[in-house]
Structure 1
Amino acid sequence: MLLAVAACTTPFKADVSRFQSQLPAPAGQSFAIVADDPKLSGGLEFSQYASLVRERLTRLGYTAVDDPAKASLLVRFDYGVDNGKERVRSTGVGASPFWSPWYGYRGFGYGGGAGYWGRPYGYWGGPWHYGWYDPFFDGGVESYTVYTSGIDLKIDRVADGQRLFEGKAEAASSSNRLQYLVPNLVEAMFTGFPGNSGETVRITVAPEKK
């Protein structure tokens, strides 16, 4: 029970990597958001998460338009979560009752980790999986699943197709719910946006409410 409580109250931590080249100031700049993965294009799920990105860019001073042909900037957006990996930890004497799968997380590099870009997704409303706990088995053992999630944001100049910004926000957590993960990853992406080119930073946001 202590393990579950500690995990539920642990802040969400994301590693954010951003690269930019002559990203223009917001004044006079319009943008349209499209799915970087064609399979997501036109979906209600994509529209819901794209609206979070639209809100953030609008808040910065950019103007949103629906037609990419009428925008000065094209924003490509993608998101995903992997199938998770099982982990086992002793919960016997000496083990911290406040340990959670976020502690000790070292981040994920581009194209590495568990490959959350694999399709399909479809982890809607799935239960948090902390597995089993047997206090009579060698001092106690607890199993859990760690999921890798991420979003990908690219900004191109429509006039000549030049790439102006690339960013990734990635995290490890015990939740695979995209409804929780994507908003937090978007918040992490736009914290201090556009950031220092080539720098990876750790962003902490609020934990999931149970």
Structure 2
Amino acid sequence: MSMRPFVLALVLLLSACTGQSPVIQVESTRFHQAGMTPRSFVVLPPAGQVPDALFTATADQVVTAMTALGWRQSDAEDGRAAVVRLRYGTDAPVRETVLSPSAVPPVGAWGYRRRWDDPFPYWQAERVVYVPKWLSLTIADGDDVRAPLLFEGRVTSRRGGAEIGPILPYLVRGMFDGFPGPNGGTEQKALTVQP
């Protein structure tokens, strides 16, 4: 009997276990005015912020998502255009202890396991550190500070390391998936990872 099928099955099983999940979990909370319709808009940085390369790339993704929904990008001088402002960042690292079942006894050669006992009698503790990442987006009726907000949303994710750059496209997708979404509701979404 050949060991080749067994080895191939073992390699496939191990490769499936070692990869990251093919989805990114995001949580979005959105508020909007009833009857909000697509119109012309302009994306501006928050007051006092100089746009860098990451902001420009994220703003381009927002423009692409909004134009796909029927909105029209406008010049910054157009006073009738809706003003889109976006901010992003990371929060303080969060440490959690995750318990998972383990079939390996922690100490000793004895075990209390009998055939009618729990197949995972021991629990293994693992410390996990993650950095929450967020994207906040507002659409105002104009550039005035007193202009009413048409839309306000925030998307967060716990995925990835400390860098926000790789996760920002998924946060933008989470913001505009089902736009404008339930008013005042929080949605959990699983976005597929793009290669």
Tell me, yes or no, whether TM beats 0.5.
yes
State the Cα distance separating 1:139 from its structure 2 match.
8.1
Greater Cα offset, 150-159 or 66-75? 66-75
Change (3 A) 1:207 1:87: farther
* Structure 2 counterpart SS, 1:193: coil
State the Cα distance separating 1:10 from its structure 2 match.
4.9
State the Cα distance separating 1:81 from its structure 2 match.
1.4
| Distance of 2:182 and 2:123 partners within structure 1 | 47
State the Cα distance separating 1:153 from its structure 2 match.
0.8
State the Cα distance separating 1:59 from its structure 2 match.
0.9
Change (3 A) 1:25 1:180: same
Tell whether 2:142 aligns with 1:158.
yes
| Matched residues, number | 163
User: Of the candidates 18, 21, 30, which is equivalent to residue 5 of structure 1?
Assistant: 18
Alignment of 1:24-103 (within 5 A): 24-26=36-38, 29-36=39-46, 38-39=48-49, 41-67=50-76, 69-89=78-98, 93=102
Counterpart code for 1:180: P
Provide the aligned C-alpha RMSD in A. Answer: 3.0
* Structure 2 counterpart SS, 1:57: helix
Tell whether 2:148 aligns with 1:148.
no
State the Cα distance separating 1:166 from its structure 2 match.
0.7
| Distance of 1:208 and 1:88 partners within structure 2 | 29
Cα displacement string for residues 153-176 of structure 1 (whole angstroms, at most 9, x for unaligned residues): 111111871111111111222433
* Structure 2 counterpart SS, 1:188: helix
Change (3 A) 1:65 1:85: same
| Distance of 1:182 and 1:4 partners within structure 2 | 26
Alignment of 1:56-205 (within 5 A): 56-67=65-76, 69-89=78-98, 93=102, 142-158=126-142, 161-205=147-191
Change (3 A) 1:61 1:19: same
| Distance of 1:178 and 1:23 partners within structure 2 | 33
Aligned to 1:129: none
Counterpart code for 1:5: T
* Structure 2 counterpart SS, 1:166: strand
Change (3 A) 1:71 1:94: farther
Q: Percent of aligned pairs with the same residue? A: 22
Maintained 8 Å contact 1:19/1:196: yes
* Structure 2 counterpart SS, 1:176: coil
Aligned to 2:5: none
State the Cα distance separating 1:69 from its structure 2 match.
4.0
Change (3 A) 1:37 1:158: closer
* Structure 1 counterpart SS, 2:129: strand
Counterpart code for 1:81: T
TM-score (norm 1): 0.66
TM-score (norm 2): 0.70
